[in-house]
Structure 1
Amino acid sequence: MFLDSVEYLDHMTDAYLRIRGQTMNEAFEYSAMGLVNIMYDIENIEKKQQIPIFAEGDELENLLFDWLDKILLMMLIDKVIFSKFKIEITFDESSNRYLLTGYGEGELVDISKHELKVEIKGITYHEMKILNYKDTNETIIEYIVDL
């Protein structure tokens, strides 16, 4: 279960997450699931539709910020919430940028079914880290969201 890979760390005013994945793709997917789970109980979200998502960045941290920001905007503006993600990260040498392509599976927010736990104001670069450990085949991501 993904929640075994997501830690919600103590922070005075914001949400601080540490994510563990066996690959960079998995860590990014779990990072998004951790984000959704801050606002809504991810266990109550059905996989009714697939929505394509694209993100890009000059560095992996830029890519992570763009990825999480797009998911947050989809939740706040489009009222779509996700319970699963499937993505692939590539590096495009012609543009010298990281590209993320994939989709999220979820449904529209239904206030009779999905209770808002807390609202997120935004994703921050503060304390954002992506650590890739080749010897243990583990990627660790840490990031903070402004509540």
Structure 2
Amino acid sequence: MRMRGLIAVLPLLGLIAVTTGEARAQCAFDQSYPNANDVLQALQEPITLQFSIEIELKDVRLFDEARAEWPIDWVRSPTEVRAAEFRPLEPLPPGNYSIEWNGYVRRHWHPDGGSVPFTIASADGTATAAPVSPAAAPTAGGVPRVGPASPYRALLGAAAPPPGR
């Protein structure tokens, strides 16, 4: 009987051993200039991406809020890198932008990528807010997703109960 139990457990242990490496994989991104959601008066050069481990960067692009790609001077490296620096080839007018990158982390055997949104403020120092997506905007006369008696309020993004309750 013990042998049957051991044989039944072995495939499960093998599955755990094979898939655990992917589950432990971490994002390689560490920091950038500009940082996520920064509001800048002017873009200081260069734009930088820094990574906590080596990554094979495959693509780095700069987009405005209309998803128009802005040309940059980034050149793909034939080796893994821990940082990337590049400059826009044209001055960026006030507005919302996003740096997007994709790569492959050989150490963890998985693709990696991300985006860093930032804003260039207008000359008077005010930032233009990003447009609200239709999914985030409440509908007129709409019914709330979560009622006060719902047991799943916290899972659906509701705030914690008031103190003392």
TM-score normalised by length of structure 1: 0.27
Higher helix share: 1
Higher Cα Rg: structure 1 or 2?
A: 2
TM-score normalised by length of structure 2: 0.25
Larger RCO, structure (CA 8 Å, separation 6 or more): 1
Higher strand share: 1
